Amino acid sequence: MSKLKQDSLIGNIKEKEINLKDYYVLIKKRIWIVIVIAILTALAGYAYSNINNTPLYQTSTRIIIGSSESGGDMQTLMVMIKDPIIMEMVKDELQLTRPAEAIASGISAEVIDDSRVVKISVTDQDSMMAVAIANTTADVFKREIANILNFKEVQLLSDAKENPNPINETQNRTTIIGLVFGIFVGVGLVFLLDSLDVTVKRESEVEEILGVPVIGIISNMNKKKVVSKKVNVPVVESRGETVDV
């Protein structure tokens, strides 16, 4: 590699190092802007999640269906769990005002691991109501299936318990997204403000603008101090003329 290429490469590396340092100093100088915007966007994300996200709670109960039944009858019993007749009875027992179809929409039933155990899950905006609907559905199903199909081999395995934790909790995720978004916006605003600032801050900027090297720097002086010093300068009279000493 020639000397000229080496010097050019070294110059480019130094220039990149200077630019990175300038960026760091710039962000550090106005870091409060980034912090304030990040906090505001994080709070906005948290508030948005609270206002627009309705918490949903889920619980489940389990029943055992007699082993003497065939697979086809098992499927029939699974369908019967959400049958309108069963749902109407659940509605009446709990004295609910919502339609039976709405109750059924929050209920799901599934067989666990190809066994005779069926899990009845209920999702609702009220955690205690979810428990009540799940347990009542299991009780009504056990009672009415004996009357409708003359099938009495349904046993309750476990009752539903309250689950106080929402299944659609998104507050933390929304808050983090708002925080990250605020950081990017804050950094962008810092660079925008710097681009709008036309004052010269560094020697390199002077050299770039004037095209000549800087050989000295005049420090800032306080105008008030300069005036006060000028007032205190002794005055003498020479040949009829006043002269500052």
For residues 169 and 206, give the distance between their C-alpha atoms in angstroms, rounded to a whole number: 55
Mean pLDDT computed over every residue of the chain: 78
Which among 161, 243, 188 is positioned nearest to 27, based on CA atoms? 188
Q: What pLDDT shows up at residue 216?
A: 60
Residues 111/77, Cβ–Cβ less than 8 Å: no
What average pLDDT does range 80-100 have in this prediction?
93
Which of 95-109, 144-158, 195-209, 211-225 is most confident?
Answer: 95-109
pLDDT band with cut points at 50, 70 and 90 for residue 232:
low
Q: Answer yes or no: is pLDDT of 30 > 70.
A: yes
Query: 101-117 pLDDT, tens per residue?
Result: 999 999 999 998 888 89
Q: What pLDDT shows up at residue 70?
A: 45
CATH annotation of 57-158: 3.30.70.1130
For residues 156 and 63, give the distance between their C-alpha atoms in angstroms, rounded to a whole number: 4
Which pair of tokens denotes residue 129? 């109501």
pTM over cut 0.85: no
| Domain range list for the chain | 8-53+170-197, 57-158
